[in-house]
Structure 1
């Protein structure tokens, strides 16, 4: 039964300071025997001022950060599921990119967020992710992690069941949903959607989240959670502060649930 660690963060505008938080968490996770550390969306840089952020993103620093993370995984012997960080893409845009490093330091996979958060909220907040970020174009899953087959998603992807349906078709055992949910949308939808996706995919959902008031002026919801394939919330880290928490993942629960409610096996394609 693998033990995992979730780091709930209040990431700011200094990537090296954010990295220090990840580094400390990885070392502590290693000390207590956790096999994987999950971090939130934009773990290494959370900055809505894109002019300021561009100084870092459009330099060699993201590549150097990737090297630091690989080395950290190897030094601690802990797999790192880095929720995401901004990374240079093409066409003058960036990618909101997740990384998975195994305990040897090998980069097993990357995933670029597929769905861009382009909204105007009733609170007056406006977000246009597509003005700076290039959307990813394919789902990503990783075989043979400590949690079985792991599917990767990022934050707003949660609202698009077709992505999770594809990960369910791939028989993912766990699905990562790193996030930086706003408070209004978090209060309304966070828990119910995570539970629904876990039930639909008959998989564990692991959602490390940003929390609190950030240096760039935003406020995020927190409540990093682990949901089992039956939809039961095994861990909820609350919405108050940044901290590290642990959860044991009983992989036998997956076959038990899929035997009781074999929805993946029973599914039929809907004709157009």
Structure 2
């Protein structure tokens, strides 16, 4: 059994304040004997127009990555940094990069968000165009860890089941979904999408969401949760605001489920 934590935040436009919240959550996770901590998408800054300037500063000083690395090392935690803006080769856009740090503070994995949220939503913010600032990644990533193989994804990816089938095919046992799901889309689809991805892949799904009001026009749904390979919600944050969701995951249970219902074998036999 491994104890994991997903962190819900209400990130704003001040980097230092957001990183202070991360430090407090890491301290809380360590006090609860957690081994793996997942942070939400845009944990360091929830301000799309400032992503490029933040990425430029990160390229110079690396303050976000250094902070997460130091916290991982200080508390002996694996920390998955939901998304960090890193400059693309063009220099005019960023990658939304999910970074994985081991308990020694070493970065051992990186995934650049593939599916970008270019949609119109019936809320006060109305229009979301991530591609104006973000360059799409190209491939799925699975990272080896002492707890199992971790498949990386970010937010809008969760609407594309083929992405998760690829993660399972690459050996994923745990899938993380750091997010900033809007209140409207989250209320409609958040839980059902996460449970479906867990059931389809027979993986544990760890979903850390932003949860609260960020500005006059932008609110996130929250409801950060951990889902088991059978689709059961093991832990859920029902209130808005920052905090941790704690759960225990068990690879023996996962393998038992897969043995009893070998869907990947049946998928191969069907030619998919």
Shorter-chain TM-score: which interval? Answer: over 0.9
- Deviation string for 1:205-255 (max 9, x for gaps)? 000110010147410000001110000010111242221231111111111
Q: Deviation at 1:269? A: 7.4
1:84 correspondence with 2:88: no
- Deviation string for 1:88-123 (max 9, x for gaps)? 112211111111100001100011100010011233
Alignment match, 1:57: 55
Alignment match, 1:102: 102
- Deviation string for 1:150-193 (max 9, x for gaps)? 00000000011111010111221100001110111111111111
CA contact (8 A) 1:117 1:128 kept: yes
Alignment match, 2:243: 243
Alignment match, 1:184: 184
- Cα distance in 2 for residues equivalent to 1:167 and 1:253: 19
Instruction: Note the 1:195-210 alignment, pairs <5 A.
Output: 195-210=195-210
- Cα distance in 2 for residues equivalent to 1:139 and 1:8: 24
Secondary structure at 1:59 match in 2: helix
Alignment match, 1:68: 67
Alignment match, 1:44: 44
- Cα distance in 2 for residues equivalent to 1:227 and 1:3: 13
Distance verdict in 2 for CA 1:250–1:270, change over 3 Å = closer
Alignment match, 2:254: 254
- Cα distance in 2 for residues equivalent to 1:241 and 1:89: 32
Distance verdict in 2 for CA 1:67–1:262, change over 3 Å = same
Please, what TM-score do these two structures have when normalized by structure 1? 0.94
Secondary structure at 1:134 match in 2: coil
- Deviation string for 1:124-153 (max 9, x for gaps)? 61011011100000111011x243000000
Distance verdict in 2 for CA 1:62–1:38, change over 3 Å = farther
CA contact (8 A) 2:52 2:85 kept: no
Distance verdict in 2 for CA 1:41–1:25, change over 3 Å = same
- Cα distance in 2 for residues equivalent to 1:253 and 1:270: 26
Distance verdict in 2 for CA 1:62–1:82, change over 3 Å = farther
Structure 1 range deviating more: 214-223 or 201-210: 214-223
- Cα distance in 1 for residues equivalent to 2:242 and 2:189: 21
Structure 1: unaligned runs, 5 residues or longer? none
Q: Deviation at 1:53? A: 4.3
Distance verdict in 2 for CA 1:256–1:194, change over 3 Å = same
Distance verdict in 2 for CA 1:62–1:182, change over 3 Å = farther
- Cα distance in 2 for residues equivalent to 1:197 and 1:62: 37
Secondary structure at 2:149 match in 1: strand
Q: Deviation at 1:56? A: 2.6
- Cα distance in 1 for residues equivalent to 2:188 and 2:95: 27
What number of residue pairs does the alignment pair up?
A: 269
- Cα distance in 2 for residues equivalent to 1:245 and 1:146: 21
Q: Deviation at 1:13? A: 0.8
